[in-house]
């Protein structure tokens, strides 16, 4: 099982209509590294306050667009081919179906606007409302490499590089990583980006075999 990631995501609506939204109070009380509170609902959308520091996971929303607006700090949003940098009072809309990963090297306070049915952590994650913690589905040594595309956000090229080498499961990938002393560059057509992605995956799951 992959270790649970400690996100505190509260989907309950904190303020009803005509209630004063007190964001500074929430920010002051926050003790979490990655905190998300739904503030209010506007028609079929919700406005959320995010107080974050660190790195979220790669994810996407197949049916929902997502708007980010930075109130304080600098937010990085990784896409497959580039990184968007949002400073104070800057925002961006991430289109539905786009794989992305928000990052905050230092504390960021932001607003997010999205539909009230969206799963904040992405379509392939499960949310446990009792402990406000998110966790991926169970991963085993037999998990197919192709499943990493959605779970970890690695590129199609990296998947194809593994398959061309005969590495069809996470277990086979980890075994290669161990035997070849982390040298994915030995694989034909494995560029720098693919090498970095595959090393990141192996470092995350290496306790399963090392």
Q: What is the largest CA-CA distance in the chain?
A: 63
Q: Nearest 5 degrees, angle CA 79-CA 86-CA 22?
A: 120
First-last CA distance in the chain:
15
Q: What is the pLDDT of residue 125?
A: 58
Q: What is the pLDDT of residue 76?
A: 95
Please, are residues 24 and 50 in contact by the beta-carbon 8 Å criterion? no
Q: What is the pLDDT of residue 128?
A: 46
Residue range 121-141, pLDDT digits in tens: 887 555 444 433 344 556 788
| Alpha carbon separation from 155 to 39, 91, 98, 149 (Å, rounded) | 35, 26, 13, 7
Residue range 32-73, pLDDT digits in tens: 999 999 999 999 999 999 999 988 887 889 899 999 999 999
Query: Average pLDDT for consecutive 10-residue bins of the chain (210 residues)?
Result: 62 96 96 94 97 88 95 92 93 93 94 94 58 52 77 75 87 89 78 86 83
| Alpha carbon separation from 189 to 23, 43, 149 (Å, rounded) | 50, 49, 18
Please, are residues 88 and 71 in contact by the beta-carbon 8 Å criterion? yes
Nearest to 202 by CA among 189, 191, 179, 192: 179
Supply the pTM of this predicted model.
0.63
């Amino acid at each position: 099982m992959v270790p649970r990631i400690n996100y505190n995501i509260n989907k309950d609506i904190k303020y009803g209509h005509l209630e004063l939204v007190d964001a500074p109070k929430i920010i002051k009380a926050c003790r979490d590294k990655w905190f998300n509170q739904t503030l209010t609902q506007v028609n079929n959308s919700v406005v959320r306050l995010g107080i974050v520091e660190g790195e979220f996971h790669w994810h996407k929303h197949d049916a929902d667009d997502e708007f980010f607006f930075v109130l304080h700090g600098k937010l990085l949003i990784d896409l497959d081919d580039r990184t968007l940098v949002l400073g104070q009072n800057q925002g961006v809309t991430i289109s539905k179906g786009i794989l992305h990963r928000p990052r905050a090297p230092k504390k960021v306070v932001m607003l997010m606007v999205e539909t009230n049915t969206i799963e904040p952590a992405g379509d392939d994650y499960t949310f446990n409302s009792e402990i406000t913690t998110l966790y991926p589905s169970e991963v085993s040594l037999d998990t197919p490499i192709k499943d990493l595309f959605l779970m970890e956000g690695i590129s199609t090229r990296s998947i194809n590089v593994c398959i061309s080498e005969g590495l069809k499961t996470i277990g086979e990938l980890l075994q290669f990583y161990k035997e070849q002393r982390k040298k994915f560059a030995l694989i034909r057509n494995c560029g720098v980006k693919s090498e970095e992605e595959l090393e990141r995956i192996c470092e995350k799951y290496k306790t399963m075999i090392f």
